Amino acid sequence: MNFFEQELRKIVHGCDAIHYPKYVGRECIARLTDDLTVKLSFRSLHIADHYNALQIRLMNRRDGEVDSQLIRFADVWGQVTMRGRDERINPYAWTYQEDTNWYGFRPNEMQYQQISDALNDYLGCFLDISEEETMGMKL
């Protein structure tokens, strides 16, 4: 299991809107409704191999991409303190010499849940009322 799959599993675990996810390479794909599929992946926005956002893409089986959204880790977590330093940075994962990991910190359980909550809020905009009721109105 690669870094991206491990991290996506932690995020999806706390997301009530996603059921039966499949992990392929660096992405997570899951059925949201009968017609909508969600695809999640880490994205590098400004510097190659510095993954500072989660990209969410919603696709309709008949009509293609419906919507997409980027959740920047810094927008959810703010700046984080680097391990062993007083320096604060915008959070990101990075690939260095073919090894990918979080740079200078490691998200805790609460931070993973914050990303999951942001993902739930976004996906909830596309769920039918009946599906929200099935989920127990957890969104």
pLDDT-based confidence at residue 127 (cuts at 50, 70, 90): confident
Output the pLDDT for position 84: 83
Q: What is the pLDDT of residue 61?
A: 85
pLDDT digits (tens, 9 = 90+) for 92-111: 999 999 999 999 999 999 99
Average pLDDT of span 120-129: 87
Per-residue confidence (pLDDT) for residue 39, from 0 to 100:
97
DSSP string, 14-60: T-TT-EEEEEETTEEEEESSSSEEEEEEEEESSSTTEEEEEEEEEEE
pLDDT band for position 130 (cuts 50, 70, 90): very low
- Domains of the chain, by residue range, sit at 3-128
Closest C-alpha to 139, from 128, 123, 130: 123
**Higher per-residue confidence, 69 vs 84:** 69
**Mean pLDDT in residue range 53-67:** 94
Query: pLDDT category, 26, cuts 50, 70, 90?
Result: very high
